[in-house]
Amino acid sequence: MGTVEPQIATEAQQQTDGFQLVIDALKLNELDTIYGLPGIPITDLTRRAQAAGLRVLSFRHEQNAGYAASIAGFLTQKPGICLTVSAPGFLNGLNALAHATVNCFPMILISGSSEREVVDLQQGDYEEMDQLAIAKPVAKAAFRVLHAEDIGVGIARAIRAAVSGRPGGVYLDLPAKLFAQSIDAAAGKNSLIKVVDAAPRQIPAAEAVKRAVDLLRSSKKPLIILGKGAAYAQADADIRALVEKTGIPYLSMSMAKGLLPDNHEQSASAARSYVLPEADVVMLIGARLNWLLSHGKGKTWGGKGHKDWGGQKFVQVDISPQEADSNVRIDAPVVGDIGSCVSAFLNEIKSGWAKPPVEWLNAISAKKTTNVAKMAETLAKTPSPMNFHSALNVVRDIIKANPDAMLVNEGANALDFTRSIVDMYKPRKRIDVGTWGIMGVGMGYCVAAAVVTKQQVIAIEGDSAFGFSGMEVETICRYNLPVCIVIMNNNGVYKGTDVNPTGGPDVAPTVFVKGARYDKLMEAFGGVGANATTPAELRKAMEEAVRSRKPTLINAVIDETAGTESGRITSLNPTAKKK
Ligand code: ADP
Ligand code: TZD
Ligand code: MG
């Protein structure tokens, strides 16, 4: 999109107002989509933004608009914009703002707020709340604009804070009075800022690059781990070149799947539990050593107790200089943006590079062969009712046939099995529960994925997970988005078989209505619903959805005994910890 000039008032009307300046500032910075929910004091902002040519997508709950904005940020490297009303709308959006910050996604939550004078004296205004103070702890930065002539600066600061360095969620507080403020149109136009170089490259120090490459050269069993920071960086070709030129086996974190195709011969995913404890030097690229990597220690890494370190040495490539040593010693931190770091590595190995010892590569390859064969056997089974494997075997084929489709995924078993069974072939196609393992991102992600990429979206949803954002199927129908939702319906959270030990009238806390027909929800709004009890029915319904690009919801009936408690993270469950 080219530069859009701010709207210039007519001669008769040489004034502009806060509403217009917010719109002009967003347009000037090529922020052309708003995910939000109207109401006092921002209803007219949504109307006027639409009239000014912005895409304004209205949701049924601000949390879903917020998640949409956060993932739009991940996919585009531009801050996703979420717009809400004051207090309750703001709080509904806040969860997504925190999620954006925790996941390092650039997002700006813009909320209308009530009058400062009344809020600060706590006199009980309509939807009164000190929103700025409440947003601060969960935002990367938070700003309030009180004067129309400061709107340009406010939005520029919000953009820079969201996308520079480690990206995150930014809160921008716009009190109701601001929108109605009139100022001279020429002065208003002049006050706007088109942000130059919002996310400046951060070139790594030459000695840091050399230290890292020397450590990798000394390794007999090197391993690369690609995280969602690497996916975000959009340095796809260089990352692939680095992996292929070094010949180092790699693992992809969940949202980095597809950065290199999952069927790449250097992918060690099918031998994950072998390579983590065995590797001697591990290079993390845009991945934190948090719980998702067992904090870099314990049995997963070859340590004996859960606090023991397995003896690996680490290289960590990250834009945040504070990330290194967060969990274990990082022997070679490389601070910079991933694009610049990876190209510096490529330059450093130009002078010569020996591929890893064949013993290491052969051992990984042998493990992979055994594990892939085991998995193929499980996937080939067709139990009745379906289990996660037999249903996901279909999804695996559909994604393989449609590698450009976006895959949205949440749930527990529905998440873990999909991640391990469904291969991804292209970068930034898989978006999921992220760093917090959060339920509720599903439908917001579907809307943003469809709007941003224009590709078919396929959502694989646990029945519990879907419930957090299910009402947005109306939004999906309203905007007629090419979204195919598959509910892995096992009648509850983890499984549907728990019973109330008291024999009382309430069912167990993890159990839902048996045999629910989620497909009917989609039909209520004019979308296509289907019920699938066999892999063949599921395949037919998914193929039809992809062919027609109509909003579709498939209720996939899964054996209610098939799941396990907490999916793959049973070990984090306090009961399991006690044992
Ligand atoms: P995963 O969950 O996939 O393991 P994380 O969210 O834990 O990934 O880690 C992502 C890391 O990537 C963060 O530490 C963040 O600072 C870093 N990061 C994000 N964008 C960039 C970038 N452009 N360049 C370098 N590092 C980045
Ligand atoms: N609330 C929020 C916001 N996030 C969470 N992660 C949870 C609650 C706890 N939780 C999980 O961690 S997974 C899950 C919950 C409620 C749902 C699992 O049930 P499901 O998936 O139907 O989505 P499976 O396939 O039945 O395991
Ligand atoms: Mg379930």
Domain spans in the chain, listed from the N-terminal domain onward? 15-191, 206-366, 381-578
Average pLDDT of 340-353?
97
Neighbours of ion ligand 3 (CB under 5 A): 462-463, 490
Question: Is the pLDDT assigned to residue 194 strictly greater than 90?
Answer: yes
Task: Compute the mean pLDDT over every residue in the chain, rounded to the nearest whole number.
Answer: 96
pLDDT score for 567 = 76
pLDDT score for 305 = 86
DSSP string, 386-431: B-HHHHHHHHHHHHHH-TTSEEEEESSHHHHHHHHHS---STT-EE
* Higher pLDDT among residues 572 and 56, named by residue: 56
pLDDT score for 579 = 43
pLDDT in tens, 140-166: 999 999 999 999 999 999 999 999 999
Rounded distance from Cα 563 to ligand 3 centre (Å): 8
Domain 381-578, CATH = 3.40.50.970
Question: Is the pLDDT assigned to residue 576 strictly greater than 70?
Answer: no
Of the chain, the percentage scoring pLDDT greater than 90 comes to: 94
Kindly report the protein residue whose alpha carbon is nearest to atom 1 of ligand 2. Answer: 439
Band of pLDDT at residue 578, cut at 50, 70 and 90: low
Ligand 1 atom at minimum distance from 233 CA: 23
Band of pLDDT at residue 344, cut at 50, 70 and 90: very high
- Tell me the pTM: 0.96
pLDDT score for 291 = 97
**For the CA of 103, the nearest ligand:** 1
Band of pLDDT at residue 574, cut at 50, 70 and 90: confident
For the Cβ of 74 lying below 6 angstroms from any atom of ligand 1, the answer is no
405: which residues sit within 8 A by CB, 6+ positions away?
398, 399, 429, 455, 456, 457, 458, 546
Q: Which fold has domain 206-366?
A: Rossmann fold (3.40.50)
Rounded distance from Cα 413 to ligand 3 centre (Å): 7
pLDDT in tens, 26-35: 999 999 999 9
Average pLDDT of 40-68?
98
- Taking the C-alpha atoms of residue 486 and residue 460, their distance in angstroms, rounded to an integer, is 5
Residue 163 and residue 198 in contact, taking contact as beta carbons nearer than 8 Å: yes
**525 Cα distance to chain centroid:** 27
Ligand 1 atom at minimum distance from 228 CA: 3
pLDDT in tens, 409-462: 999 999 999 999 999 999 999 999 999 999 999 999 999 999 999 999 999 999
For the Cβ of 134 lying below 6 angstroms from any atom of ligand 1, the answer is no
pLDDT score for 565 = 84
DSSP string, 46-59: HHHHHHTT-EEEE-
8-state DSSP, 336: S
For the Cβ of 25 lying below 6 angstroms from any atom of ligand 1, the answer is no
pLDDT score for 49 = 98
pLDDT in tens, 262-271: 999 999 999 9
- Taking the C-alpha atoms of residue 498 and residue 509, their distance in angstroms, rounded to an integer, is 8
- Tell me which of 494, 558, 561, 566 to substitute to probe ligand 2's pocket, judged by most ligand atoms within 8 Å of the beta carbon: 494
- Taking the C-alpha atoms of residue 55 and residue 200, their distance in angstroms, rounded to an integer, is 27
- Taking the C-alpha atoms of residue 482 and residue 543, their distance in angstroms, rounded to an integer, is 12
Ligand 2 atom at minimum distance from 412 CA: 27
Ligand 2 atom at minimum distance from 466 CA: 23
pLDDT in tens, 366-405: 999 999 999 999 999 999 999 999 999 999 999 999 999 9
Question: Is the pLDDT assigned to residue 10 strictly greater than 70?
Answer: no
Band of pLDDT at residue 6, cut at 50, 70 and 90: low
Band of pLDDT at residue 5, cut at 50, 70 and 90: low
Average pLDDT of 169-198?
98
Question: Is the pLDDT assigned to residue 12 strictly greater than 70?
Answer: no
Helical spans, DSSP H, in 105-205 = 116-120, 131-135, 151-163, 176-180, 185-191
- Taking the C-alpha atoms of residue 42 and residue 36, their distance in angstroms, rounded to an integer, is 10
pLDDT in tens, 519-557: 999 999 999 999 999 999 999 999 999 999 999 999 999
Average pLDDT of 504-528?
97
- Which residue, 440, 491, 578, is CA-closest to 66? 440
Kindly report the protein residue whose alpha carbon is nearest to atom 6 of ligand 1. Answer: 103
Same fold across 15-191 and 381-578? yes
pLDDT score for 307 = 86
**Angstrom distances, CA of residue 156 to CA of 25, 325, 415:** 8, 33, 37
CATH number for domain 15-191, candidates 3.40.190.10, 2.40.50.140, 3.90.600.10, 3.40.50.970: 3.40.50.970
* 377: exposed, middle or buried (Cβ count in 10 Å: 0-12, 13-18, 19+): exposed
Q: How many of the other CB atoms lie within 10 Å of CB of 198?
A: 18
Question: Is the pLDDT assigned to residue 9 strictly greater than 70?
Answer: no
Band of pLDDT at residue 306, cut at 50, 70 and 90: confident
- Which residue, 382, 425, 421, is CA-closest to 401? 425
